[in-house]
Amino acid sequence: MTAVAVERLTVLTDPDCPLCRGFAGWLARQPMLVPLDVVAAGSLEAQRRFPDLDHARTLEEVTVIGGDGAMWVHDRAWVMCLWATRSYRGLAERLSSPRLLPTARAAAYGAAGLRHLLGSRGASGGDYADDCAGPCRPLPQG
């Protein structure tokens, strides 16, 4: 997927998003090929680690940052999360193709066993996307 050796990844996720928290918990339980830190997007820790980053943007879209400063957002970020795991690296490599990349987020949620949340109703009684600020909104159907 990448020509550069990736030694460590940091994933910035929205701590107020139930789906993001669930996915981060799932990642924490996976055997990893690449060490991965999950940090709350927009937090003081994130700002300390990445002072030049647009932190408001990281609250709107999942962001993965490599130890060398490489950055992935949106679907590519979900692929990198899967790529870091022992069990899902092959899936990540398949999903990295231009044709399959748009399905990366759904595959990440499915791998984490969170797919059922995509259609659930949140605390507001509306669609789940109403309760999620950004990166975890479900993919459009069709």
pLDDT tens digits for 5-48? 789 999 999 988 888 888 899 999 999 999 999 999 999 999 99
Res. 122: pLDDT tops 80: no
Supply the pLDDT for residue 117.
56
Return the closest-CA partner of residue 71 out of 15, 28, 27, 9.
9
Token pair of 50, please? 């990445």
- pLDDT tier at 61 (50, 70, 90 boundaries)? confident
Quote the CA–CA distance of 92 and 101 in Å, as a whole number: 9
Please give the Cα distance from 140 to 49 (Å, whole number): 33
> What would the mean pLDDT of 68-93 be, rounded to a whole number?
93
- The three-class DSSP label of residue 22 is helix
Q: Looking at residues 87-106, what average pLDDT do you find?
A: 90
- Confidence (pLDDT) at 96: 93
What is the full DSSP assignment across 30-67? Answer: S-BSS-EEEEETTSHHHHHH-TTS-HHHHTTS-EEEET
